[in-house]
Amino acid sequence: MVELKTEHEIEEMRAAGRVVADALAAVREAARPGVSLLDLDAVARRVLREAGADSPFLGYRPQFAPVPFPGVICASVNDAIVHGIPDGRRLRDGDLVSIDCGAKLGGWAGDAAVSFTVGRPRPADLRLIETAEAALAAGIEQARPGRRIGDIAHAVGRVCRAAGYGVPDGFGGHGIGRSMHEDPGVPNEGRPGRGMTLRPGMVLAIEPMLIAGGGDDYLTDGDGWTLRTTDGSRAAHAEHTVAVTADGPRILTAR
């Protein structure tokens, strides 16, 4: 079921989205060589707590997961694609980090992710991250009344493929509202003109995931959560929570 949100509800979702944006900005600010993923999780926890927000990640346990998620961020480094568990690992010069964060405020969820490098960046990583952001922007551009889910999926996938990157099979975005994951699914590849027609009040998390090596398959770590590239190449992830409005797409997790 897809729940359409009123303008007032979208305004309330914007408040949750702003907390996510603040948490991601604070994490990015804190990330440098020597800082651990647990340190970054603590930074995000503080932002959520000070905003009076809860974490939809903490304790989350979908069917595939052997244990509830232990952090408020997913921290996926280098060949980790998404769902990395924040642990004692310390960032090193040249790492590529993807941080995914959610917040629940006033009964509404926000969900966003950003990828960045720490220390001296590899040019190839910067290109991968730029492409993830371009794919996200292309998807957001399609989030308009009358367009279809397939238009978003096609726009996202085309940018990733044109740059030669892989797109992990079966993972993508989702509707979002009172819960973090709602209908409809928003694939990262698809055919234009197909799928559900977008209407004002739909709120979607759009989230391209890119594999530098160009393959689409992935491995799951022994922790049951972390998705990793099979070829050891690096991955990037970008995400925003976006409302479909009569005036066009509105990014609820913008800074």
* 223 or 231: CB nearest Mg ion: 223
Q: Which one of 118-126, 145-153, 200-208, 214-222 is the stretch in contact with Mg ion (CB under 5 A)?
A: 200-208
Interface with Mg ion, residue 205, by CB under 5 A: yes
Q: Shortest distance, CB of residue 154 to Mg ion, whole angstroms?
A: 19
Q: Which one, 100 or 125, has the nearer CB to Mg ion?
A: 100
Stretch that binds Mg ion, among 64-72, 127-135, 205-213, 220-228 (CB under 5 A): 205-213
- Binding flag, residue 182, Mg ion (CB under 5 A): no
Closest distance between Mg ion and the C-beta of residue 190, in Å? 17
The full 3-state SS of the chain, as one line of letters, equals CCCCCCHHHHHHHHHHHHHHHHHHHHHHHHCCCCCEHHHHHHHHHHHHHHHCCECCCCCCCCCCCCCCCCCCEEEEECCEEECCCCCCCECCCCCEEEEEEEEEECCEEEEEEEEEECCCCCHHHHHHHHHHHHHHHHHHHCCCCCCEHHHHHHHHHHHHHHCCCECCCCCEEEECCCCCCEEEEEECCCCCCCCCECCCCCEEEECCEEECCCCCCEEECCCCCCEEECCCCCEEECEEEEEEECCEEEECCCC
Q: Interface with Mg ion by CB under 5 A: which range of 14-22, 119-127, 212-220, 233-241? A: 233-241
Among 111, 125, 151, 182, binds Mg ion (CB under 5 A): 111
Q: Considering the rule CB under 5 A, would residue 136 count as an interface residue with Mg ion?
A: no
Q: Is 100 in the site for Mg ion (CB under 5 A)?
A: yes
Q: Which is nearer to Mg ion, 102 or 150 (CB)?
A: 102
Q: Which residues bind Mg ion (CB under 5 A)?
A: 100, 111, 113, 205, 239
